[in-house]
């Protein structure tokens, strides 16, 4: 696949390889897998550099006792900062060179001390419904309880199935799966397909119709919800690489291993959120796809008070994601 790479960054990789690159990451199993992928690409591009890792505990990792919205309020953290605040502090202090994030955890607008330098090639973007029996959404009994920490997922599933009872579910991916397998509090949970694939709970491509067995945990089944029906979050499935503003060396390192098509898609998605002035507690689904020179963008925006969502759809040049996002914003109805 094509890398997000310029002539300058190619020159850097060949003749100006750094002696040491320090990568910062959260300590969850998924975050560590994403850090490992980033470090592998850096090691290939810069074979003479020492790649070091610093694991950082964030506010969102410490506070698993209440919902993410309550964590943000109680900690005085704006937008999606519950999962990046401490990592950005380490970045600002020069303790790390590159911060590795799940892109959907990053604020739409970053503090001006930092910049999103690049993104890695995107994993599958869909959401997955996990149950104790196969069958998917239609197989859930009336009034079934579904667990999720995402307002977007909660609004969408209640829109599709108004009879369902949606409750908060915190914890990392393995913890959430174990809660479903071992507790009666939930009939199903919603998770990102990307995390399930990266942690080897699902293969990259579906192998069964109507419900796939979750690997490593018996008695659980997954249904991948088509993104054209259940819209994913902006940036879902993408790994974002954040650096200090003005740190040209680190920016070039990131761009050397970045992925062009993913960059165009997430740029459009995140710009659409910016125009909405939307944060992590705003129930917005955005879906992008690229075919040849064209990108298609679709959005579903739910009123926070409930009711029918606004929708929009636009197709245009993939090379101009900002303009596409603006057109999508104005097409909402």
* Residues designated catalytic: 105
Label residue 306 exposed, middle or buried (CB < 10 Å: 0-12, 13-18, 19+): exposed
The CA distance from 29 to 258, in Å, is: 22
From 153, 157, 166, 165, select the one nearest 138 (Cα to Cα): 157
| Beta-ladder partners of 130 | 189, 222
| Cβ count near 120 (within 10 Å) | 23
For 306, the 3-state DSSP assignment is coil
| Cβ count near 146 (within 10 Å) | 24
One-character DSSP codes across 104-150 = GGS-SS--TTEEEEEEPPP----EEEEESSSS-GGGSPTT-EEE-S-
Strand residues in the chain grouped as ranges (E):
3-4, 20-25, 50-55, 98-102, 114-119, 127-131, 145-147, 165-167, 188-192, 212-213, 221-225, 239-244, 258-259, 284-291, 294-301, 310-317
N-to-C CA span, the chain: 36
Q: What is the dihedral of CA 120, 94, 278, 198, to 10 degrees?
A: 30
The CA distance from 182 to 171, in Å, is: 15
The CA distance from 174 to 201, in Å, is: 9
């Amino acid at each position: 696949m094509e890398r997000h790479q310029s002539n300058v960054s190619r020159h850097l990789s060949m003749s100006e390889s750094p002696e040491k690159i320090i990568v910062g990451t959260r300590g969850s199993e998924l975050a560590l897998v994403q850090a490992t992928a980033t470090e592998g690409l850096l090691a290939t591009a810069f074979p003479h550099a020492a790649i070091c890792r610093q694991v950082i505990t964030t506010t969102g990792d410490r506070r698993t006792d209440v919902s993410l919205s309550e964590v943000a309020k109680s900690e005085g953290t704006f937008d999606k900062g519950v999962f990046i605040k401490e990592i950005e502090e380490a970045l600002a202090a020069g303790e790390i060179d590159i911060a590795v994030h799940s892109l959907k955890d990053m604020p739409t607008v970053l503090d001006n001390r930092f910049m999103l330098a690049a993104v890695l090639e995107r994993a599958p973007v869909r959401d997955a419904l996990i149950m104790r029996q196969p069958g998917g959404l239609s197989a859930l009994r009336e009034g079934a309880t579904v667990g999720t920490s995402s307002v977007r997922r909660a609004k969408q599933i209640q829109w599709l199935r108004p009879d369902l009872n949606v409750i908060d579910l915190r914890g990392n991916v393995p913890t959430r799966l174990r809660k479903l397998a071992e507790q009666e509090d939930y009939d199903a949970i919603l998770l990102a397909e990307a995390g399930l694939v990266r942690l080897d709970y699902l293969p990259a491509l579906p192998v069964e119709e109507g419900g796939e067995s979750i690997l490593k945990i018996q008695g659980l089944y997954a249904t991948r919800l088509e993104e054209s029906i259940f819209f994913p979050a902006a940036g879902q499935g993408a790994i974002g690489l954040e650096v200090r503003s003005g740190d040209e060396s680190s920016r070039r390192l990131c761009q050397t291993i970045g992925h062009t098509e993913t960059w165009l898609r997430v740029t459009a998605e995140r710009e659409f959120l910016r125009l909405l002035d939307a944060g992590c507690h705003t129930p917005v689904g955005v879906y992008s796809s690229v075919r040849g020179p064209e990108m298609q963008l679709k959005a579903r925006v739910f009123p926070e008070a409930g009711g029918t969502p606004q929708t929009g759809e636009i197709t245009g040049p993939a090379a101009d994601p900002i303009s596409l996002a603006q057109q999508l914003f104005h097409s909402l109805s």
